[in-house]
Structure 1
Amino acid sequence: MSKSVLDLIEDRAEEIASLGAANEELGRLTDRSAELLREVGVMKMLQPAKYGGHEAHPADFAEAVMRLASLDGSTGWVSGIVGVHPWEMAMCDSRVQEEVWGESHETWIASPYAPMGILRPVEGGFVFNGRWQFSSGTDHCDWIFLGAFLGDAEGTMLMPPENYHVILPRSDYEIIEDTWDVVGLRGTGSKDVVVKDAFIPDYRAIPFSKFMDGSQPREAGLTSPTYHIPFTTAFPLGITSAVIGIAEGALAASLEYQQKRVQITGTKVKDDPYVLFALSDAAAEIHASRVALIDNVRRFYDKVQNGEEITFADRAHSRRTQVAAAWRAVRAMDEIVARSGGNGMRMDNPIQRFWRDGHMGMVHAIHVPGSVFHVSALTDMDFMPPPGPMLSMI
């Protein structure tokens, strides 16, 4: 029997973890870290079987991302974000799938989805311009998904706004060096990208609404339940999994470090009931976050498999679960770090890197709780929230 992705990760766990500091110093994943991700196959878990992918259950993907992030936050983050893109590409026009994977099933696709560009219609497609921040793992990718607004013939954004996802090869965009200098997740290399007057064939620009309402995978003829879970469940899954995995990494590093630690009072940590209580409580909270996230995506997979309708309220509750899981895990990690003493914050101690990485992961737009919790509460009270920005993450 062939080994699972998790088995392959365990085989390489020590080396993956050992490269964390090098990834951070380089400001992107080292070539060896990227090679290890290719070896374990995490990026192909959600890729269609036609192009060498696993069409895996998304819960299995989430567990692989968590484990990678527990070894190195940046490695887990890149696997979580870049690893979701084959899921979306499976829904896209067969022509662009062949362009991306026809010569190599190993091609990686970057993003971001924020609509920071304008599509100007021309014969056969569009002319595209814009600049985007936060393209995680982009140095190791040869294609990219970029968010855009549809414009008129003069390139002025149409109103009301129409959001698109646009697919480009590496030759059509520029990665801007020295645009990723941040406190955490430094090894993700989440740099800016720029597009100047690129021609986009019409089959490589897709209305985002078709991903949100589920029509895109239906029109693509996809039958696996993996491709019919909501976009707002699938896309955040990799990111939230990474954050929870990072908290698990902080816990593991802390437990190892605290085994031999003697506090300034002369008390060994193993004899300090207050620290032990905090460590155990944090472990329970982090585990609860993992269970909630995995259960959430399994429920959606089962709904799709059983032919059940997924309602707006279901989607709102799903996002609430994801956001709450991330916040719970990071709050628990803070309790761990607060009891690690000054030596826990030394730069050669991985606890501090996990701590910085986890908090950096929390500032991603998908983890902002305000509008998500607001909308979820309204649906619980049988009120339909008003249209607009509040719904953008639901």
Structure 2
Amino acid sequence: MGQVLDRIEVVAEEIRGQAVESETACRLTDTAARLLRDSGAIRLLQPKLYGGIEAHPREFAETVMGIAALDGASGWVAGVVGVHPWELAFADPRVQQEIWSENYDTWIASPYAPMGIATPVDGGYVLTGRWSFSSGTDHCQWAFLGAMVGDGEGGVAMPPSSLHVILPRVDYQIVGDSWDVIGLRGTGSKDLIVDGAFIPSHRTLDAWKVMDGRAQKEAGRSEPLYNMPYSCMFPLGITSAVIGIAEGALACHIAAQKDRVAITGQKIKEDPYVLSAIGESAAEINASRVSLIETAERFYDKLDAGKEITFEERAIGRRTQIAAAWRAVRALDEIFTRAGGGALRYSTPMQRFWRDAHAGLAHAVHVPGPTNHASALTQLGVEPQGMMRAMI
């Protein structure tokens, strides 16, 4: 077990106990955020130079799973906010200093989707736009935001190019009432608005270079951790949270069935169909965990040996990651439908795990079609083009 996960185990009941209040508030409670902060979960992928741990991606994934099994929202924030220090590690050293020089526990929000326009001006860009789904944003002081480079007339410059821009909280507005949803309510994934903020060039990264690994190399990062593919690391946190939520639901289900008696008077322990569903679902959720971690381990080992990760490997890795999330949620559905009417009560965590898992599956990194298509084309010797290469 990793050092951070050891700390999480000590405060497990406290994390679990914050779930209802976080869901009601549509954001992590200050206590839930403090527990994550004190554990070091958000610093797992952060450079040691700035108080980070530079953990193996496996430890990051296992820690996110462990937190999500206690509370889906806390696990989700640990996975999403926790990956941002990884990218900041190969951003301009000046912005690293701006963010971490006074407080190693400064958190950074997102999203990366290019929902804004960054218009070039002397020394940088002027950024305008509105972004949805900024998980954990109430507890963050900076944000990574995706933006298309503008043409100076309100449109997108051609050929299109995109940036990841980094800006402090004073430059964006959090829309307080923009996160009223059915699942993952406690993540507080609210909208952000930027209205003409100046972004100096040193606070930007070329999004395409981040995706294909050039940004890491140009920054001089030689460590295997920081040369992991973006298309592995960013989804790793999100899918780990979904798998952890499924694991939490399974544990909740098993605990509830131990003394349950069906309306027929039969003990659930004697119902072969319920028992079979538990066994099959447990195996499927574990398979999801194993397959996701195996990809990250294999990529890390290959980089550590001085080799490159090919586009085909990245595409297959993304396919495996997506399949892991869907497999885990399908397994959760199997046990939820056999959990009895009591699982529907808001007083039990089972229904929250179920809602959170389905909300997590709706994330863009879990859309299977294009990635399955691209990975199959690549294995058939055809080079995917255009959007078929997105997020790979």
Q: Which residue of 2 aligns with 1:390?
A: 388
Distance 1:81 1:208 in 2: 17
Partner of 1:93: 92
2:131 maps to what in 1? Answer: 132
Aligned to 1:367: 366
For 1:71 and 1:213, locate their aligned partners in 2 and report how far apart those are by CA, in whole Å: 35
Q: What corresponds to 1:165 in structure 2?
A: 164
Could you tell me which residue of structure 1 aligns to residue 327 of structure 2?
328
Residue of structure 2 equivalent to 1:59: 58
Decide whether the 8 Å contact of 1:165 with 1:206 is kept in 2. Answer: yes
Q: Could you say which residue in structure 2 is the equivalent of 1:275?
A: 274
The one-character-per-residue Cα deviations of 1:324-349 (angstroms, maximum 9, x if unpaired) are 00000000000010001111111011
Deviation at 1:3, TM superposition (A): 7.6
- Tell me the distance in 2 between the aligned counterparts of 1:299 and 1:155: 44
Instruction: Give deviations 1:157-205, integer Å, cap 9, x for gaps.
Output: 1122101100000000000011001110000000000000100001112
Residue type of the alignment partner of 1:390: M
| Residue aligning to 2:19 | 20
Q: CA distance change for structure 1 residues 225 and 3 in 2, over 3 Å: closer, same or farther?
A: closer
Alignment correspondent of 1:236: 235
1:105 corresponding residue in structure 2: 104
Aligned residue number for residue 343 of structure 1: 342
Matching of residues 194-343 of structure 1 within 5 Å = 194-343=193-342
Distance in 1, Cα, partners of 2:33 & 2:16:
13
* Matching residue of 1:179: 178
CA contact (8 A) 2:282 2:331 kept: yes
CA positional deviation for 1:155: 3.3
C-alpha separation between the residues in 2 aligned to 1:147 and 1:307? 31
Contact 1:45–1:55 (8 Å) recurs in 2: yes
The match for 1:30 is 29
The aligned length equals: 392
In structure 2, what is the Cα distance between the partners aligned to 1:309 and 1:172? 38
User: TM-score, normalised on structure 2?
Assistant: 0.99
CA distance in 2, matches of 1:207, 1:15: 40
Deviations 1:240-293 (A, max 9, x none): 000000000000000001111111111111010110000010000000000001
**Residues 149 and 161, structure 2, Cα contact 8 Å, conserved in 1:** yes
Instruction: Quote the Cα distance in structure 2 between the aligned partners of 1:220 and 1:32.
Output: 36
Asked whether 1:156 is paired with 2:150, we answer no
Of 108-117 and 214-223, the range deviating more from structure 2: 214-223
Look up the equivalent residue of 1:393 and give its one-letter code: M
Q: CA deviation at 1:153?
A: 2.5
Instruction: Say if 1:55 and 1:224, in contact at 8 Å, map to a contact too.
Output: no
Question: Which range moved further: 84-93 or 15-24?
Answer: 15-24
Separation in 1, partners of 2:335, 2:319? 25
Unaligned runs of 5+ in 1: none
The sequence identity of aligned pairs, in percent, is 60
Task: Tell which deviates more after alignment, 127-136 or 13-22.
Answer: 13-22
Map Cα deviations across residues 120-177 of structure 1 (whole Å, 9 max, x no partner).
1111111110000000000000000000000123232112210110000000000001
Spell out structure 1 runs of 4+ moving beyond 4 A.
none
Question: One-letter code of the match for 2:319?
Answer: R
Rounded Cα–Cα distance in structure 2 between residues aligned with 1:206 and 1:67: 32
Instruction: Give the TM-score normalised by the residue count of structure 1.
Output: 0.98
Contact 1:74–1:188, Cα closer than 8 Å, also in 2? yes
SS at match of 1:222: coil
Corresponding residue of 1:380: 379
Asked if 1 retains the 8 angstrom alpha-carbon contact of 2:206 and 2:215, the reply is no
Q: Give the letter aligned to residue 223 of structure 1.
A: S
The whole-number CA distance in structure 2 between the counterparts of 1:153 and 1:190 is 30
Q: Does 1:50 align with 2:49?
A: yes
| d(CA) in 1 for partners of 2:29, 2:5 | 21
Distance 2:325 2:50 in 1: 32
Residues 356-380 of structure 1, C-alpha deviation per residue, up to 9 Å, x if partnerless? 0000000000000000111111112
Tell me, in whole angstroms, the C-alpha distance in 2 between the residues paired with 1:127 and 1:267.
67
Structure 2: how far apart are the matches of 1:279 and 1:106?
40
The Cα RMSD (Å) is 1.0
